[in-house]
Structure 1
Amino acid sequence: MKRLLLLSFLVTVIFSCRQISPKKIDPNFVLCLFNKDENPSSLLFAESLDDNGSTTLQIPLSTSRIQEREYIYKNGFFYRLSSQTSVFSKYQLQGASLILIDSISLKNRDFETITWKDDSNLIAACRENSVGEKKQARIYQINVEAMQIVKENTIILPFATKEYAALHVGLVDIENDDLWLAYSYFKSTGKYSYTTSDTTYYATIKYDSFKLTDIQKETRSTYPGGFNIIQSYSFKNEAGDYYFMTNPGIALGNNPNLPTAIFRKKKGQQLVDQDYMINISKSIGNHAYGLWYVGNGKAIIRNEQKKLYTDFSNFHAVYQFEYRLVDLKSGTIEKIPFPLDKGTQKENVWSDKTYVYIAIDDSNDEHRVWKYNLQTKEISKGIKLPSTTNFIVRMDYLK
């Protein structure tokens, strides 16, 4: 397996740093920013998310702005799975620099979804080639300690049609040595436009042999998950039940006649519960993107407002996005009175089960983390980010 020594040298040079405060900090949080002046994106490390003047440290990233939010944090290391270069990279924060530790070249691009099999093994799924009327998905298991591919194989998925021939692999889960994939099919209708079929498929695969054992059809909604290397669309609760979102709206699946919805696969089961569905679009009249668990049977969603944008051309730039709290048992959805946000594909929600912290770019050009008290329902201000910030695209807890 070829190590990317040249890339290691280049990234070490590129990842130079600019320290905002001379004080040495022990960061608890990292936020990934896009900057207004079109200079490199950067990572901002903070000791606290509270508005208490805590020390921060900012590290510029590489010069390319495309897909530069694909960072995965796990147990003291940052990982990047690039759909553009087919490279899986491992980094570590050393002092005020983010240092490349190792990289692996993969055979495929178009990675859409990941899950952790355990603390040492990452499972990544991507779409591959067509075989007749069928599509292929490729699965990698990467041991991140040894930085080696320990397992990989191709899965042939039926139900592709001539009209909808492009595969979207939106979710992957593993339980009891069974691999579970949620996928759908879409087609291009123009240079920047597409639409998704009205059916989602759930495939169960024996992980030891990669044998396809079952496919369940879902017609209540479509386009399961999304590019979850960047934004969360699923979680497991305290009982081990798996919840996930479908995203057929204009920003992702682009089949807005079907609803955005939350579904459930109970612990130990491979079939999705046909008696459970939270119809988000019916409740709020809009589509939503992103699903984050905040504990005690509650989750956060991020919804659009169709009256405020024209079409996809200005969808990301309009201050329109709201945040709502979903009760997963009753299905009730409650709006949180934060300022309106802008931007798409954000991984910007974190909770300590007392507060929900959400990083927002508001219409006053203020870039701040806001707090929501889950018990009192009060909101308050958290840490304010540098004025050079354009978008806050990621927020991760390091400890």
Structure 2
Amino acid sequence: MNSTSNRSLSFLLLLISLFGCTDSALTTKNEGAHKYSIYILAKDGNEYMVETDQLDEGVILPEKEGAELNTREMDRSVIVKNGYYYHLNRKKAALVKYELKDKQLREVQSMPLAKFSIENFHWLGRDTLLLTGLNTPDFTQVKYSMLNVAAMKSISEGNMEIPVPSGKFDNMSVGFVKKQGLKLLVGYTYHQELGLLNYTTSDTTYVTELNYPQMTAVKTAKDTRSTYPGGVNTVQTSSFEDAQGNFYFMDCPGIALGNRPELATGILRINKNETAPDPRYFFNISTRIGNHAYGMWPIGGDKAIIRAERKDLFKGLWDHYSTPHFEFYLVDVKNNKVINKLALPLDKGTRRECVLLKDNIAYISISSSAEGNFIWRYDLKTCALSKGLELAGNTDFILRIDQLR
């Protein structure tokens, strides 16, 4: 089922190597780029991108200091790296590379990417980006596109050898991709459409081991302890690899993602050099905090920050995004321990890329109806919380914060 091409493995590996060292200056030439990028949804519906060199203090008015975005071409599902922004422009059927200059988001380069919906991005090197997604408009076939971002040229593309939906399941989602030597591990599940705005999810998490770079299947593991592994990681982070090489990912069966709320949100682990979830490890988040969670960010060692809903504060999916009801918890993933709930204002926005780690400070963006929109500082050494940069003016939601360089 591999549709890469008829190239031999040795030729493909050579091509990857060549692309990996060609025009690498193009990924670093943007010397004027700031350290951080912030994506804002404004009260009037406009969207803005702002850049800054610090998150610890100050005030930014996005309508004055940011670039107003063309929402027909750009949205929050953007990949940010080395001063550039990468986004799938569906109208042009192309992946576009942008930079922000003079309060404008300007196209630098692009490459064709047709009938592709990005579910996951994974950097294989400084210049080598692996995109994994689904065919459009059916969302039934797992596809990939490997490219060199310095030249914005395709290295290879095709289908991953992963079973298409069958029976009552008519679409699917890809939650994570992890490279492990000459293998790729792909986590996914299947969905059933129940109506125009309603769906449900299989009770199973699937992890397929693929040969890399051929993308042919070796074996598939199934885990029924929870479902909906990870999530679209261009929107929110839900997995990470620790210093020992163990891989942790969150299963998200709550109504906002898997819509199997009777199942538990859980963190699962794939141990180093293994290819399936550890059957002896399951961190049951729902049991520990009494709610579902979406999003997980590593902050060093065995610790991570997770973002969890308060089911007593929203009425249903229709007000899930607008109602402030999200809390943040510090967890120890190795020892299955909730350390404490962070004393932050209730946050709003169902999915957001909202945690950054820099120099033992976790920066957490909070969109609070009561206390405003701030980047909060959480000192990992002292456990002290304090307000940092304020996003004021027309700001309604801080949709994402990213490290530019």
Q: Deviations over 1:320-368 (max 9, x none)?
A: 0001111112211121010000012200111125221111111226111
Q: Determine the C-alpha separation between the residues in 1 that align with 2:137 and 2:208.
A: 17
**Contact kept? 1:186, 1:197, Cα under 8 Å:** yes
Runs of 5+ unmatched residues, structure 1: 1-24
**Contact kept? 2:95, 2:110, Cα under 8 Å:** yes
1:1-399 matched pairs, under 5 angstroms? 27-39=34-46, 41-52=47-58, 57-64=65-72, 68-82=75-89, 86-128=93-135, 135-158=140-163, 160-333=165-338, 334-352=340-358, 354-364=360-370, 366-399=372-405
Output the amino acid matched with 1:320: H
Output the amino acid matched with 1:387: G
Q: Determine the C-alpha separation between the residues in 2 that align with 1:217 and 1:130.
A: 27
Q: Deviations over 1:146-191 (max 9, x none)?
A: 1111111213423733112211111111121211111100111122
Normalised TM-score (structure 1): 0.87
Q: Percent same amino acid at aligned positions?
A: 35
**Contact kept? 1:88, 1:105, Cα under 8 Å:** yes
Q: Determine the C-alpha separation between the residues in 2 that align with 1:242 and 1:76.
A: 27
Higher relative contact order (CA 8 A, sep 6+): 2
Q: Deviations over 1:91-126 (max 9, x none)?
A: 123354332111122132322111111111111111
Q: Determine the C-alpha separation between the residues in 1 that align with 2:59 and 2:348.
A: 25
Q: Determine the C-alpha separation between the residues in 2 that align with 1:158 and 1:62.
A: 37
Report the 3-state secondary structure (helix = DSSP H, G, I; strand = E; otherwise coil) of the residue aligned with 1:283: helix
- What is aligned with 2:9? none
**Contact kept? 1:85, 1:109, Cα under 8 Å:** no
TM-superposed deviation, 1:265: 1.5
**Contact kept? 2:35, 2:403, Cα under 8 Å:** yes
Report the 3-state secondary structure (helix = DSSP H, G, I; strand = E; otherwise coil) of the residue aligned with 1:371: strand
Output the amino acid matched with 1:33: I
Normalised TM-score (structure 2): 0.86
Runs of 5+ unmatched residues, structure 2: 1-31
Bigger Cα displacement from structure 2, 137-146 vs 235-244? 235-244
Bigger Cα displacement from structure 2, 28-37 vs 370-379? 370-379
Q: Determine the C-alpha separation between the residues in 2 that align with 1:84 and 1:362.
A: 34
For these two proteins, the number of residue pairs brought into alignment is 371
